[in-house]
Amino acid sequence: MTLRLSPGVHRVQVVVGCLLSWALGAVVVRLGLDWADTFMYSEASEWRYLGVAVAALLVAIGGSVTTVFVARRQRRRPQVKSRS
């Protein structure tokens, strides 16, 4: 018996994976800004804020790209038949 997913299911998995990646990026922003606000404001604060923004973008974009690559790989992989 083979399990074949329709193209629509793959599309839903990609959309959900990308949304989760961006949600995780938002969590990184929230936690990073809470951390950055524990220091007194100075010129270095702007660099901390920039670092938080870059980290959040890396998490969100990296997660989205990984989701697309995993979905493409699953689609190309030949279906394995079980010995039932």
CB 18 within 8 A of CB 65: no
What is the three-class DSSP state of 41?
coil
Q: What's the pLDDT band for 1 if we cut at 50, 70, 90?
A: very low
Give the CA angle between residues 35, 31, 65 to the nearest 5°. Answer: 130
Q: Which of 23, 49, 55 has the alpha carbon at shortest distance from 37? A: 49
What gap in Å lies between CA 80 and CA 38, rounded to an integer?
A: 53
Structure tokens at 16: 């959900």
Q: What is the pLDDT, as a whole number, of residue 38?
A: 93
Structure confidence by residue, pLDDT tens digits, 27-84: 999 999 999 999 999 989 999 999 999 999 999 999 999 999 988 888 776 556 666 5
